[in-house]
Amino acid sequence: MYNIKAYAAAGATSGLAPLTIPRRDTKERDVQIEILFCGICHSDLHYARDEWHSVMPTVYPCVPGHEIVGRVTKVGSAVTKFKPGDLAGVGCLVDSDRTCPNCREGLEQLCPKQVLTYGGPDKDLGGVTYGGYSESIVVDEHFVLRVPANLDPAGVAPLLCAGITTYSPIRRWGDIEGKKIGIVGLGGLGHMGVKFARAFGAHVAVFTTSPAKREDALRLGADEVIISTNAEDMKKHAWSFDFILDTIAADHDIDAYIKMLGRDGTITLVGAPEKPLAVSAFALIFGRRSLSGSLIGGIAETQEMLDFCSQHNITADVEVIPIQKVNEAYERLAKSDVKYRFSIDMASLKAE
């Protein structure tokens, strides 16, 4: 065991502050990574503030961060895929049982015994796992990802959650080249959905309540922008979409978007509103439409996503900040005041 610097929340209202935390010594299949950048996900804010208490109560102190990019500093004797000096990434998972049907199919994110990068059971040190707002991390090789050298590591970090969360359902839906694809919301998830759908060759439309986002949506690759509060604008697009990715985490009228789908169209939720959404059965039945959900992706699919990003030069649009501004970033994130993801330069932690 060794000790490192980190930023942690001591309670739901305490904010984040410096803390020394332990990491396990490197075992034979482990990779030790010096963290260079860590993205800030909205899940980090929810967890640090115990806003998911009914589903996932926070254990304090908590060290958030599951969008990790760093450099390998040490590997165990049985590691074959990484060597010191390699760029590597860690996403939302650091372990699973690897024997259940989901794991055998490469769907570790659906394993009933998955271990989250932070807040999961730490079988080596006891307590819970600590995330990427820290100097380094030790992870089993199976859950470590190769980071393409041609991409900006600060912009790669959010791909480990926001990227795979949007890539997976788009890829799973099928061949979208030439199809009409809608992205609901233009935030941390939505802007990645636009980039991926465009790279796959789709005709991409962004649904937004804000006319001010039109220019940015087009810059990111959208072919058109639909103002969802404009009844006439919505009406002329009814029954025209093959697939819609809904990234909104707040309460909203999902029926309005279901009605945009053509026959056999699918809408997939990746945003997680706190309250249940009201869905009209008739909106689904008439049109044979489908409503589904999606949760990040497995390790192999996440690597596929990173390789796809390397080929198409895709990264997240990020604002790089020092760790000392993380509490300010949380306040801004709560107000959606970021384009489109914060990425923490973890070199700033050395100043603590």
Average pLDDT value over all residues in the chain: 96
Q: Are 67 and 132 in contact (CB under 8 A)?
A: yes
| C-beta of residue 301 within 8 angstroms of C-beta of residue 141 | no
Residues 93-142 have pLDDT tens digits of 999 999 999 999 999 999 999 999 999 999 999 999 999 999 999 999 99
Residue ranges in the chain modelled with pLDDT below 70: none
Cβ–Cβ under 8 Å, residues 1 and 20: no
| Contacts by 229-232, CB closer than 8 A, 24 or more apart | none
Inter-CA distances, 296 with 134, 138, 159, 177, Å: 23, 21, 10, 22
pLDDT value of residue 110:
97
In this structure, which amino acid lies at residue 262?
G
Vertex 335: Cα angle to 341 and 326 (nearest 5) = 55
| pLDDT score of 174 | 83
Token digits of residue 14: 């305490």
Indicate the length of the chain as a whole number. Answer: 352
Distance between start and end Cα atoms, the chain: 21
Provide the β-strand partners of residue 244.
182, 267
Closest CA to 326 of 11, 12, 3, 18: 18
What is the CB-side half-sphere exposure of residue 120 using CA atoms within 13 A?
18
Q: Tokens for 140, please give them.
A: 């089993």
CATH numbers and ranges of domains, the chain:
2-161+297-351 (3.90.180.10), 163-293 (3.40.50.720)
CA distance 152 to 308: 15
Q: Cα(329)–Cα(321) distance, rounded to whole angstroms?
A: 8
Say which residues have a Cβ less than 8 Å from residue 255's Cβ, sequence separation at least 6: 278, 279, 280, 283
How far is residue 58 from each of residues 210, 273, 335, measured CA to CA in Å? 34, 19, 22
Q: What is the pLDDT of residue 275?
A: 86
